[in-house]
Amino acid sequence: MATLHTRSAARLMIAPSVLLLLAWMIVPLAMTIYFSFLRYNLLMPGMEEFAGFSNYSYFLTDPAFFQALFNTLAIVLGVLFITVVGGIALALLLDQPMFGQGIVRILVIAPFLIMPTVAALVWKNMFMNPVNGLFAWVAKLFGLQPFDFLANAPLMSVIIIVAWQWLPFATLILLTALQSLDEEQKEAAQMDGASAWSRFIYLVLPHLSRAITVVILIQTIFLLSVFAEILVTTNGGPGTQSTNLTFLVYAQALLQFDVGGASAGGIIAVILANIVAFFLMRMIGKTLEA
């Protein structure tokens, strides 16, 4: 609905963004694909040669790959579960009338604004450390043996730290959605004799479905590539117990300098992410249309 003049101006103005993002998508990705077929190690410059699919078969048969795949999924699903369930509960709580609601909101939001490296370091040293951590002190207070979180349950520890960072995000969005629920609808349901529980099931939850979809979508994007938390806390270990795909590729590339292998891993990560994205995009596409 505009003139030819404005339309051509419009095309000109979209161009920089589209071209930049296109370049950002295609150039490095094409290079990654190219490298993934080479035997190429930064420690042995000049020795590059075509390697066919050997990088892929090496990567795909590496037991660390399956561990990383499992860990990636565990982190995504674990954090999603904690944050969505916890977020709904917290949002319902914060939606009640109370004293100092604004301050509580500020307290709850805070972890989301903390940079991942700080969050990870604080948890690792000041809470989970088996000697000087606060958890160890609490355990001793009850006469228990301090638990070495990062050594004995590294994956769970990472999930706890990441969930702590993302719980505010889910809460904030669900709370916003909750507050947009029409007060009269709730009153009508009350007049119709609906109990608090059935109001939640039949009124609140359907109203939140769109927000929940959005929370899952956005978090999944970020959770698939959790990196700093692992780097700072466990360095992927012990062994590969807390290595996810992102960290595995990083280790291959920048710790072992195996460009070919890391590239193959990167491509596999892209393919897996695309499979997930395919379903997510269909989900958000529908939600945003509505």
Partner 1 sequence: MGNITLRNVSKVFGAHAVIPSIDLNINDGEFVVFVGPSGCGKSTLLRLIAGLEDVSGGEIAIDGKNATELPPAQRGLSMVFQSYALYPHMSVRSNIAFPLKMANEDKAVIDRKVSDAARVLNLTDYLDRKPRQLSGGQRQRVAIGRAIVRQPKAFLFDEPLSNLDAALRVNMRLEISQLHQDLKTTMVYVTHDQVEAMTMADKIVVLNRGRIEQVGSPLDLYHKPDNLFVAGFIGSPRMNFVSGQPAAAYQAHTMGIRPEHLVLSKENGTWAGTVGVAEHLGSDTFLHVNVDTIGTVTARVSGDFPVTHGDRVFLTPDAQRVHRFDDKGLAVR
Partner 2 sequence: MARNVSTRRKIVVTVVAWTIGILIFFPILWTFLTSFKTEAEAIASPPSLFFFDWTTENYHEVQSRSNYFLHFMNSVVVSFGSTLIGLIIAIPSAWAMAFSPTKRTKDVLMWMLSTKMMPSVGVLVPMYLLFRNTGLLDTRTGLVIVLTLINLPIIIWMLYTYFKEIPGEILEAARMDGASLSKEIIYVLTPMAIPGIASTLLLNIILAWNEAFWTLNLSAAKAAPLTAFIASYSSPEGLFYAKLSAASTMAIAPILILGWFSQKQLVRGLTFGAVK
How many angstroms separate the CA atoms of 211 and 85, rounded?
Answer: 13
Pick 8 or 101: Cβ nearer partner 1 = 8
Nearer to partner 2, 92 or 194 (CB): 92
Judged by CB, which is closer to partner 2: 153, or 273?
273
Smallest separation, CB 16 to partner 1 (Å): 24
Q: How far apart are CA 259 and CA 55, in angstroms?
A: 10
- CA 132 to chain centroid: 29
Residues that bind partner 1 (CB under 8 A): 1-5
Q: Which does 4 bind (CB under 5 to 8 A by kind): partner 2, partner 1, none?
A: partner 1
List residues bridging with 95 in a β-sheet. Answer: none
For partner 2, which is the closer residue by CB, 155 or 226? Answer: 226
Smallest separation, CB 122 to partner 2 (Å): 5
Q: Is 148 exposed, middle or buried (0-12, 13-18, 19+ CB in 10 A)?
A: middle
Residue 108, binding choice from partner 1, partner 2, none, Cβ under 5 to 8 Å by partner class: partner 2
Q: Name beta bridge partners: 41.
A: 258
Contact residues for 245 (Cβ-Cβ < 8 A; gap 6+): 68, 69, 72, 224, 265, 268, 269, 272
CB of 186 to partner 1, least distance (A): 32
CB 112 → partner 2: shortest distance, Å?
7
